[in-house]
Amino acid sequence: MPQLAKRVGRAKPSAIMAVAEKARKLKAEGRDIVSFSIGVPNFLPGEHVYAAAREALARDSGQYGSNRGSEALLDAFLGHMAKLGLEGYRRENCVVAVGAKHILYNLFEAMLDEGDEIAFPTPYWTSYLDIAEIVGAKIRLLPCGSEQDYKLTPAQLDEALSHKPRVFLFNNPSNPTGMVYTPDEVKALAAVIAKHPDTWVITDDIYNRMLFDGIAYSNFVQFEPSLRERTVFVDSLSKTYGMPGWRVGLMAGPQEVAKAVVTLNSNHITNIPEIVTAAAVAALSGPQDVPKAKCAEFAGKRDQVMATLESIPGLICPRPQGAFYVFPDISCAFGKSHKGVKIDNDVDFCNVLLEAKGVACVPGSAFGEPRSMRISYTCPTEQLPVGLERIREFFAELS
Ligand code: PMP
């Protein structure tokens, strides 16, 4: 057989999917499984989104569309950005693609030549590492453990940027930790970035509508307007509108970057479908009841998860204020056993927890933090207390 390109060998299959697959298998064998593994929103967008898609289907031209995205969708995105406090952008700054993942892929291709450096904090969302590997970038990881609430400090950022990485990638609110940087924290990091002019900045803020406790969304460009020249804001409809399979990602940044991404789009995808576009416009500019209600529901679920985790002796868990993840530091369990089965690390922990209690969580090493595990709490409401009680029992049974 002829050889495949080296770049495909550099990306690893998803560790999150591996856990989900094992959980599915056990379920098929008749086991009662609670899944805290995949970060999918378990809800549907409002009826107005489907109505818009049906109308578009009725009048669909079947023709190719714009490589940048339709004007109606770009305008709806600009409207959403203005509500977030990101004003003064125009259509020329924006591009639509097939999910935020595809936007990120495009941006990495547009900004990074083979061997160029990209820096980002750990824990990180898994695909950052894989996409960076595929494009052949050099990766600088900035470790942010539970002892610093999984958040990057200005001093760490200053040190990292002194190496002049081509790209600094930032994720707020965070997948996998659910942590949110306060406006003051974002401001302090922005001041550091302003001192290092050689680096592009990508802010992956796809959970920006899922903020709890009255915390406000903020972005570097709000504190350091000069950073607009080299900062790209990334958004998605997947999580907050319950539309992961519709595949809509968006970005806003410098016109030159947007132009490069449009060129990549013209060679990768041409356009996202007209029907999906109509649904996306309806989601962004129609009633916001669904994302608002879901945000309130997730805040309540976060409280439920935290109440259990805080009752477990030795467990450290910074309190998340967004998204739908909690990322406890489970290292207090390492070296212990569950009913005679030794637990040496996060992968053992998640395997034994799944086998013994039927609860699926993702080992932190999938996100570059092997002391922790990710709990995604989007499961059906009635399953949440069941899974949490099993985790509490599991810890109590360790010896
Ligand atoms: N960024 C983060 C932080 C994510 O969690 C995800 C999805 N898990 C993405 C990007 C990709 O989202 P999309 O479905 O829009 O491709």
Over residues 36-84, the pLDDT tens digits come to: 998 888 899 999 999 999 999 999 888 999 999 999 999 999 999 999 9
What pLDDT sits at residue 60? 84
Indicate if the pLDDT at residue 20 is higher than 90.
no
For the CA of 174, the closest atom of ligand 1 is 3
- How far is 182 from 142, CA to CA, in rounded Å? 19
204 lines ligand 1 (CB under 6 A): yes
What pLDDT sits at residue 393? 98
249 lines ligand 1 (CB under 6 A): yes
Indicate if the pLDDT at residue 178 is higher than 90.
yes
d(CA 394, ligand 1 centre) in Å: 31
Read off the pLDDT of each residue in 345-360 and give the average, rounded to a whole number. 96
For the CA of 237, the closest atom of ligand 1 is 15
What pLDDT sits at residue 39? 86
**pTM of the full predicted structure?**
0.97
pLDDT band at 25 (very low <50, low <70, confident <90, very high): very high
- How far is 172 from 206, CA to CA, in rounded Å? 8
89 lines ligand 1 (CB under 6 A): no
Read off the pLDDT of each residue in 132-156 and give the average, rounded to a whole number. 97
Indicate if the pLDDT at residue 177 is higher than 80.
yes
Q: Which of 313, 388, 315 lies closest to 357, judged by CA?
A: 388
Indicate if the pLDDT at residue 15 is higher than 80.
no
What number is the ipTM of this complex? 0.99
Return the domain boundaries, the chain: 6-44+290-396, 47-285
d(CA 29, ligand 1 centre) in Å: 31
Read off the pLDDT of each residue in 339-358 and give the average, rounded to a whole number. 96
Tens-digit pLDDT profile for residues 194-215: 999 999 999 999 999 999 999 9
Proportion of the chain above pLDDT 90, given as a percent = 93
Q: Which of 172, 239, 250 to mutate to test the pocket of ligand 1 (most atoms within 8 A of CB)?
A: 239
Read off the pLDDT of each residue in 124-144 and give the average, rounded to a whole number. 96
pLDDT band at 275 (very low <50, low <70, confident <90, very high): very high
Q: What is the CATH number of domain 6-44+290-396?
A: 3.90.1150.10
Indicate if the pLDDT at residue 13 is higher than 80.
no
Domains 6-44+290-396 and 47-285 share a fold: no
Q: Which of 16, 96, 175 to mutate to test the pocket of ligand 1 (most atoms within 8 A of CB)?
A: 175
Q: Strand 249-252 to strand 231-236: parallel, antiparallel, or no bridges (unpaired)?
A: antiparallel
Q: Return the number of other C-beta atoms located less than 10 Å from residue 337's C-beta.
A: 14
For the CA of 39, the closest atom of ligand 1 is 8
Architecture of the domain whose range is 47-285: 3-Layer(aba) Sandwich (3.40)
d(CA 89, ligand 1 centre) in Å: 23
Look at ligand 1, atom 5, and give the residue with the nearest C-alpha: 175
101 lines ligand 1 (CB under 6 A): yes
